[in-house]
Chains A and B, each alone.
Chain A
Amino acid sequence: MKFTWFHLMPWPHMPDDFREKHRSVWVDLPNRMYEPELGHIAYHQYLDQLEYAETVGFDGIGVNEHHANAYGLMPSPNIMAATLTRRTSKAALVVLGNSIALYNPPLRVAEEMAMLDVLSGGRLVAGFPVGTSMDTNYAYGTIPALTREKYAEAHDLIRKAWAADEPFAFNGRYTKLRYVNCWPKPIQRPAPPIFIPGGGSVETYDFCLDNTYSYSYLSYSGYLRAKLLMDGYWKRVAERKADESPYRAGFAQVICVADSDAEAERLYWPHVNYFYNRCLHVYPGFADAPGYRTVKTIQTGALSQFTQAAARNYPSMTWKDLVDGRYIVAGSPETVRQQMEELIKTLRVGNIFCLMHVGNMPNDKVRYSTSLFAEKVMPHLRNLWPEWKNHDDRFWMHPMNEPVPLKVAAE
Chain B
Amino acid sequence: MKSRFLTLKPSSIRIQVVEAGKGRDLLYLHGAGGHMPADPLIAALATKYRVVAPLLPGYGQSTGEDELRDMLDITLHGLDVLEALKLKKPIVVGHSMGGMIAAEMAAIARTEVAKLCLLAPAGLWLDDHPIVDIFSKLPYELPGLLFHDAETGGRLLASGGDMNDPEFLKQFLVMNARRLGMAGKILFPIPDRGLGQRLQRIAARTLIVWGAEDALIPPVYGHAFKKAISKSKLVKVAKAGHAVGQEKPAAVLKAIKEFF
Chain A residues at the B interface, C-beta cutoff of 8 Å: 27, 137-138, 141, 143-146, 173, 283-286, 289-291, 293-295, 298-299, 301
Contact = CB atoms under 8 A, between A and B. Distances in A.
A292 to B, nearest CB: 8
Given A145-B184, A173-B69, A289-B136, 18 more contacts: A137-B188, A138-B189, A144-B188, A145-B65, A145-B185, A285-B136, A285-B137, A289-B135, A289-B184, A290-B135, A290-B179, A290-B181, A290-B184, A295-B174, A295-B177, A298-B177, A299-B170, A299-B174
B31 to A, nearest CB: 15
The 5 closest A-B pairs by CB, nearest first: A291-B181, A290-B180, A285-B136, A145-B181, A141-B189
B238 interface: no
Given A138-B189, A146-B69, A291 B137 contact: no
Contacts of A291: 177, 180-182, 184
Nearest to B68: A145
A301 B167 CA distance: 10
A368 to B, nearest CB: 40
A295 B170 CA distance: 10
Given A290-B177, A298-B170, A298-B174, A145 B138 contact: no
Interface magnitude class on chain B: 20 to 34
B33 to A, nearest CB: 12
B176 interface: yes
B218 to A, nearest CB: 20
Contacts, number: 60
A166 B135 CA distance: 43
B173 interface: yes
B236 interface: no
Interface string B124-167: 00000000000111100000000000000000000000000000
Contact of B188 (A27, A284, A286, A289): A289
Contacts of B184: 143-145, 289-291
Contacts of B170: 298-299, 301
A137 B138 CA distance: 16
A298 B228 CA distance: 42
Contacts of A283: 136
Interface string B58-70: 0000000100010
Contacts of B48: none
Nearest to A284: B138
A176 B33 CA distance: 34
A286 B136 contact: yes
A405 B231 CA distance: 77
B177 A143 contact: no
Interface string B109-120: 000000000000
Contacts of A173: 69
B104 to A, nearest CB: 17
B178 interface: yes
Contact of A293 (B69, B177, B183): B177
Contacts of B178: 295
Contacts of B180: 290-291
Nearest to A299: B174
B63 to A, nearest CB: 11
Interface string B223-239: 00000000000000000
Contacts of A298: 170, 173-174, 177
Contact of B181 (A141, A144, A286, A299): A144
Nearest to B136: A285
Contacts of B182: 145, 291
B187 to A, nearest CB: 9
A147 to B, nearest CB: 10
